[in-house]
Chains A and B, each alone.
Chain A
Amino acid sequence: MSITLGGVAAAPELPDVLPPRRARGRVMRFVVQHPTIVAGGLLLGVMVFIAIFAPWLGTRDPEAISPIYRLRPPQAAYWFGTDMLGRDIYSRVIYGSRVSLGVGFSVAILASGIGMAIGVVSGFVRWLDMALMRIMDGLMSIPGILLAIALMALTRGSVYNVVVAITIPQVPQVARLVRGVVLTLREQPFVEAAVASGTRLPKILIKHIVPNTMAALSVQATYICASAMVIEAILSFIGAGTPPTIPSWGNIMAEGRALWQIKPYIVFFPAVFLSITVLAVNLLGDGLRDALDPRLAKRL
Chain B
Amino acid sequence: MLTYILRRIAATVPVMGLVALFVFSLLYIAPGDPAAIIAGDQATVQQIAHIRASLGLDRPFLVRFADWFWHVLHGDLGTSIFTNLPVLKMIEQRAPTTLSLMTITLVMSIAIAVPMGVLAAWKAGTWIDRTIMVMAVLGFSVPVFVVGYVLAYAFALQLPWFPVQGYVSLSHGFWPWLRSLILPSLTLGGIYIALIARITRATMLEVLSQDYIRTARAKGVGRREILYVHALKNAAVPIVTIIGIGFAALIGGAVVTESVFALPGIGRLTVDAILQRDYPVIQGVVLVFSFIYVLVNLVVDILYTVFDPRIRY
A143 to B282, CA, bound (A): 13
* Contact residue among B202, B248, B290 (Cβ-Cβ distance under 8 Å from A299): B202
A230 to B279, CA, bound (A): 24
Interface: A261 (CB within 8 A): yes
Complex contact B198–A300 (CB within 8 A) = yes
Contacting residues of chain B (209-231) with chain A, CB-CB under 8 angstroms:
none
Complex contact B22–A238 (CB within 8 A) = no
Least CB distance from A221 to B in Å reads: 16
Least CB distance from A219 to B in Å reads: 14
Least CB distance from A134 to B in Å reads: 7
Least CB distance from B293 to A in Å reads: 6
Q: Which partner residue on chain A sits nearest B27 by CB separation?
A: A154
A253 to B27, CA, bound (A): 30
Interface: A150 (CB within 8 A): yes
* Contact residue among B30, B138, B153, B205 (Cβ-Cβ distance under 8 Å from A279): B138
Interface: A292 (CB within 8 A): no
Q: Which partner residue on chain B sits nearest A283 by CB separation?
A: B137
Tell me whether A233 and B22 are in contact in the complex, defined as CB-CB below 8 angstroms, given that A143-B252, A154-B37 are known contacts.
no
Tell me whether A267 and B140 are in contact in the complex, defined as CB-CB below 8 angstroms, given that A138-B15, A234-B256, A239-B275 are known contacts.
no
Least CB distance from B115 to A in Å reads: 19
Q: Which partner residue on chain B sits nearest A138 by CB separation?
A: B18
Complex contact A275–B18 (CB within 8 A) = no
Interface: A139 (CB within 8 A): yes
Complex contact A150–B143 (CB within 8 A) = no
- Residues of chain A lying within 8 A (CB to CB) of residue B34: 154
Least CB distance from B55 to A in Å reads: 10
Complex contact A149–B143 (CB within 8 A) = no
Least CB distance from B127 to A in Å reads: 15
Tell me whether A154 and B279 are in contact in the complex, defined as CB-CB below 8 angstroms, given that A143-B248, A237-B145, A264-B149 are known contacts.
yes
Type the 1/0 row for B232-249, where 1 means its CB is closer than 8 Å to any CB of A. 000000000000000011
Complex contact B290–A271 (CB within 8 A) = no
Complex contact A278–B252 (CB within 8 A) = no
Complex contact A149–B282 (CB within 8 A) = yes
Interface: B112 (CB within 8 A): no
Q: Which partner residue on chain A sits nearest B140 by CB separation?
A: A282
Type the 1/0 row for A209-220, where 1 means its CB is closer than 8 Å to any CB of B. 000000000000
A154 to B36, CA, bound (A): 9
A234 to B285, CA, bound (A): 17
Complex contact A279–B145 (CB within 8 A) = no
Least CB distance from B31 to A in Å reads: 6
Complex contact B252–A153 (CB within 8 A) = no
Complex contact A156–B37 (CB within 8 A) = yes
Q: Tell me the dominant secondary structure on chain A's binding face.
A: helix
Complex contact A146–B18 (CB within 8 A) = no
Chain A: interface size category: 35 or more
Interface: A159 (CB within 8 A): no
Least CB distance from A116 to B in Å reads: 22
A226 to B140, CA, bound (A): 9
* Contact residue among A138, A144, A153, A282 (Cβ-Cβ distance under 8 Å from B279): A153
Complex contact A151–B30 (CB within 8 A) = yes
Interface: A49 (CB within 8 A): no
A293 to B102, CA, bound (A): 35
Complex contact A141–B19 (CB within 8 A) = yes
- Residues of chain A lying within 8 A (CB to CB) of residue B31: 155
Type the 1/0 row for B23-34, where 1 means its CB is closer than 8 Å to any CB of A. 100110111101
Contacting residues of chain B (184-212) with chain A, CB-CB under 8 angstroms:
198-199, 202, 205-206
* Contact residue among A135, A143, A149, A238 (Cβ-Cβ distance under 8 Å from B293): A143
- Residues of chain A lying within 8 A (CB to CB) of residue B157: 261
- Residues of chain A lying within 8 A (CB to CB) of residue B144: 230, 234
Interface: A152 (CB within 8 A): yes
Least CB distance from A289 to B in Å reads: 12
- Residues of chain B lying within 8 A (CB to CB) of residue A50: none
Interface: B142 (CB within 8 A): yes
Complex contact B286–A142 (CB within 8 A) = yes
* Contact residue among A138, A144, A300 (Cβ-Cβ distance under 8 Å from B21): A138
* Contact residue among A151, A239, A278 (Cβ-Cβ distance under 8 Å from B141): A278
Complex contact A238–B164 (CB within 8 A) = no
Q: Which partner residue on chain B sits nearest A299 by CB separation?
A: B202
- Residues of chain A lying within 8 A (CB to CB) of residue B38: 153-154
A151 to B27, CA, bound (A): 8
- Residues of chain A lying within 8 A (CB to CB) of residue B277: 153
Tell me whether A238 and B286 are in contact in the complex, defined as CB-CB below 8 angstroms, given that A156-B37, A282-B141, A299-B206 are known contacts.
no
Complex contact A150–B293 (CB within 8 A) = no
Complex contact A150–B32 (CB within 8 A) = no
- Residues of chain A lying within 8 A (CB to CB) of residue B271: 238-239
* Contact residue among A141, A155, A238, A257 (Cβ-Cβ distance under 8 Å from B255): A238
Interface: B251 (CB within 8 A): yes
Tell me whether A146 and B142 are in contact in the complex, defined as CB-CB below 8 angstroms, given that A134-B18, A138-B22, A155-B37 are known contacts.
no
Interface core residue of B137, B145, B205 (most chain A CB under 10 Å): B145
22 contacts between A and B (CB under 8 A): A134-B14, A138-B22, A141-B290, A142-B19, A144-B248, A145-B251, A149-B282, A150-B23, A151-B29, A155-B32, A226-B141, A233-B145, A234-B143, A237-B145, A238-B259, A261-B164, A271-B149, A279-B141, A282-B137, A282-B140, A282-B141, A299-B206
Give chain A's interface residues, CB within 8 Å of chain B: 134-135, 137-139, 141-147, 149-156, 226, 230-231, 233-234, 237-240, 253, 257, 260-261, 264, 267-268, 271, 274-275, 278-279, 282-283, 286, 298-300
Closest 9 CB pairs of A and B: A145-B252, A138-B18, A154-B30, A279-B141, A143-B248, A271-B146, A278-B141, A143-B251, A240-B274
